[in-house]
Amino acid sequence: ESELYYSLNPTAVQVWQMLPPVCTKEEQIVSRLSEANPEVNLGTIEADVRRLLEDLIRNGLAEVPQPA
């Protein structure tokens, strides 16, 4: 609708690929990223994932999964 393009860095692409149905909880995404990047502080991963998900939702590119 906005005719804007949204680009993702390589880590954000990994998060995008883990969105439901692959991972249904934010914690699952954080865990997978942490396992793949043990040199990165867990708090940093959590904050970055949360910020990205909030941005995707705010821009209408993702939705909060509804309980089944």
Question: CA-CA distance, 29 to 32, in Å (whole number)?
Answer: 5
Q: What is the pLDDT of residues 39-58, one digit of tens each?
A: 999 999 999 999 999 999 99
Q: What is the pLDDT of residues 12-25, one digit of tens each?
A: 999 999 999 999 99
Asked whether the predicted pLDDT for residue 9 surpasses 90, the reply is yes
The pLDDT, as a whole number, for residue 64 is 81
- Whole-prediction pTM value? 0.87
Helices (H), 1-68: 10-18, 26-36, 42-58
